[in-house]
Structure 1
Amino acid sequence: MKKWILLIAISLTLSCGQLITPEPAIVKRSPTPTSAVTTIPTATSRPTATPKPATPAPTPTPTMTPTPIIYEVQSGDTLLGIAIEFGVSAEAIQTANGIIDPRRIQIGQPLFIPEPAEDDAQPTLTPTPVPVIVRGVSFQKTPQGTLWCFGEMMNPGSVTLSELVVEVNLYDAQGSLLASEAAFTQLDILASNQSVPFAVLFEEPPSTFAQYQVRAISATPLLGKPRYYLELRPIETSATFIGESTYRVSGQLENIGEHNAEAIKLVVTAYNEANEVLAQRQASLDVVVLRSGARTPFALDITAPEGTVARYVVQAQALRAP
């Protein structure tokens, strides 16, 4: 009897030993998704508890910092064209890069493109609703094989305009477009009942064209309190023929306003008897600051290869010095 009791006890002891050290349960994991979510590893389960899937910790969404856009100016670029391409205003690019004259950006010049503002509407190259008049159009071929289209934009309204852009289209006899170019006017702003000249260059013009279209594609009312300064008066002007269709226009520029002027630009425009623009020349004066009441001399050479110059006009524009 004792022998059977001993065998039963040994049997029970062996059975209890198997329960103390069970084989660990194998937990099958789902395939790891290919994403940025990080999952916390499953903790080792205890023998007396059923393991539960671990809840992944929420991964914070990183804040994306916009990469600065630097654009390198290419041949034929204009500030307005670059602004249209990136969906920002030309004024925003001009301000961000400290550009005084938007027509004088250089090939290879790096431009920082700012983030579009909420109120930045991408401009559309359609005829502007602002009433402007394009007149005095003429075409001048050069010995280098290029073609200039000259003319002027006139503002019959009561509001001063800015961001003035002219487009010239050349067509054949059937009305098919042969070439198209656009450019800013020679001065940045256009006051009421005044005109500013423009010059549009075709570097590779068609050998001939039968008809053309010249239109203003941008003319925006000047808002806010800009630094543009127009209280400049050309005086004692004269024109001297110096040969080979070239005239030298000289005189004095007087600051008749209350403020000092800087970044002065001067434009000379030559007309024929029919008031067509034959030639024009723009230059920046060497004087750094023209004080109120002061004068500075100027002299510009202007060439009109075709036609006879009947009259000329001198215009000036500057920025109000701080």
Structure 2
Amino acid sequence: MRQRLLVLCGLMLAALWLAACGNAAPPSAATTPPQATPTRGWTLTPYATPSPTATPTPLPSPTLPAAAHPSPTPWVYTVAKGDTLLGIALRFGVSLKALEEANPGVDPQAMAVGTRLIIPVNAENPAGLPTPTPLPMAVGAPFCEPAADGGAVCLVEVHNPGPQAVEAVAAWLTLPNGQATTAEALLNLLPKDSSTVLVARFTQAPPQPRAAVRLLRALAVPTKAQAQRYPPLKVQNLHTAIASNKRAVQVSGSLRLQKNTAVQAVWVVAAAYDAEGHPVGVRRWEAPLPFPPGKPQPFAFTVYSIGPPIARVVVHAEAHALLPTPTP
């Protein structure tokens, strides 16, 4: 009996042990504590490798056209009373044939006063183009002022340092907009160690015109030819009166031919300058004909400034001899 009780107790203990094992909580898994996600104070931007691009092929530089040089301006002579084609040819030292070839539309037998003739420089130049290399002159910077009509007036002083006189002085003026024209002297002759003012007018110009200048023509005059063409003319009793506003000057005086020579033209030119020496005005006065030799003839005219105030005036006079008509 006792043995049965021991077996029963053993069975009960075994049952209790098994029950305890079945109800035991399973072991908790090892939990990794949550990791704090780091907070950045900036945003990472992936480095952007630039995509390779084709090296641009440089465009060829444009070829600028060479500066266009002006066609030389012919030397033009205006026929006066008593002129003949042969006389003009002899006066300017060209052959009659060359003069006729340069002026095919002129009838020598019906050449009216005022006819404009092209004077060829030499026998090999019947078109009347001047020498491409003028005698060296001192050319000042053009002084330009706008005109009321949208154009501009430019004045250029040219000085002849010598050693001989020149005539038919001209220059070529060019504006930045490409417009170009010829500046002409108001006197034919420019003696050595003397100055003259050339005049040019542009029909269209910027508000502040600035022109480039190149000497175009300055033809040498032999001493003998100078004495024949330009008889000595004396200016007497010269008087200049600058207006109170300094924008005009009155020029007056008298002229007297120093030789008993018949003339076809007598001119007086007055050039006005500002305080800095720029030419600011110029005008030519022409004497009425006939002009009696040896007798003083009065003149009076006004020169106006193209802009700045006038500070001084320079006056020159010139007579053109009436050469006898040679016999063919």
TM-score (norm 1): 0.59
> For the structure 1 residues 302 and 111, does the alpha-carbon distance in structure 2 shift closer, same or farther, using more than 3 Å as the test?
closer
List, as ranges, runs of 4+ consecutive aligned residues in structure 1 with deviation greater than 4 Å.
88-100, 110-118, 121-127, 241-244
Q: Is the 8 A contact 1:169 1:214 kept in 2?
A: yes
| 1:145, distance to aligned residue in structure 2 (A) | 2.5
Q: Which residue of 1 aligns with 2:298?
A: 297
Q: Is the 8 A contact 2:271 2:283 kept in 1?
A: yes
| 1:155, distance to aligned residue in structure 2 (A) | 1.0
Superposed, 1:1-322 pairs within 5 Å as 79-80=74-75, 118-120=123-125, 128-135=133-140, 137-171=142-176, 178-209=178-209, 211-223=210-222, 225=225, 227-241=228-242, 245-257=247-259, 259-292=261-294, 294-322=295-323
Based on CA coordinates, which of the two structures has the bigger radius of gyration?
2
Q: Is the 8 A contact 1:236 1:252 kept in 2?
A: yes
Of Structure 1 and Structure 2, the greater strand share is in 1
Cα deviation code 1:89-143 (max 9, x no counterpart): 799659969799xxxx7xxxx6577999843265768963411111263112222
Mean Cα deviation higher: 264-273 or 242-251 = 242-251
Q: Any stretches of 5+ residues in structure 1 without a counterpart? A: 1-77, 83-87, 172-176
Q: Is the 8 A contact 2:274 2:280 kept in 1?
A: yes
Task: Tell me how far apart the structure 2 counterparts of residues 296 and 181 of structure 1 sit (CA, whole Å).
Answer: 36
Q: Any stretches of 5+ residues in structure 2 without a counterpart? A: 1-72, 78-97, 324-328
Task: Tell me how far apart the structure 1 counterparts of residues 310 and 158 of structure 2 sit (CA, whole Å).
Answer: 20
Task: Tell me how far apart the structure 2 counterparts of residues 228 and 194 of structure 1 sit (CA, whole Å).
Answer: 18
Supply the AA of the counterpart residue of 1:197.
V
Report the number of matched residues. 226
Q: Is the 8 A contact 1:272 1:311 kept in 2?
A: yes
| 1:168, distance to aligned residue in structure 2 (A) | 0.8
> For the structure 1 residues 259 and 168, does the alpha-carbon distance in structure 2 shift closer, same or farther, using more than 3 Å as the test?
same
> For the structure 1 residues 131 and 147, does the alpha-carbon distance in structure 2 shift closer, same or farther, using more than 3 Å as the test?
same
The CA RMSD measured in Å over matched residues stands at 3.8
Mean Cα deviation higher: 294-303 or 110-119 = 110-119
> For the structure 1 residues 262 and 167, does the alpha-carbon distance in structure 2 shift closer, same or farther, using more than 3 Å as the test?
same
Task: Tell me how far apart the structure 2 counterparts of residues 234 and 126 of structure 1 sit (CA, whole Å).
Answer: 33
| 1:230, distance to aligned residue in structure 2 (A) | 4.7
| 1:197, distance to aligned residue in structure 2 (A) | 1.4
Q: Which residue of 2 aligns with 1:36?
A: none
> For the structure 1 residues 251 and 98, does the alpha-carbon distance in structure 2 shift closer, same or farther, using more than 3 Å as the test?
farther
Task: Tell me how far apart the structure 1 counterparts of residues 137 and 168 of structure 2 sit (CA, whole Å).
Answer: 13
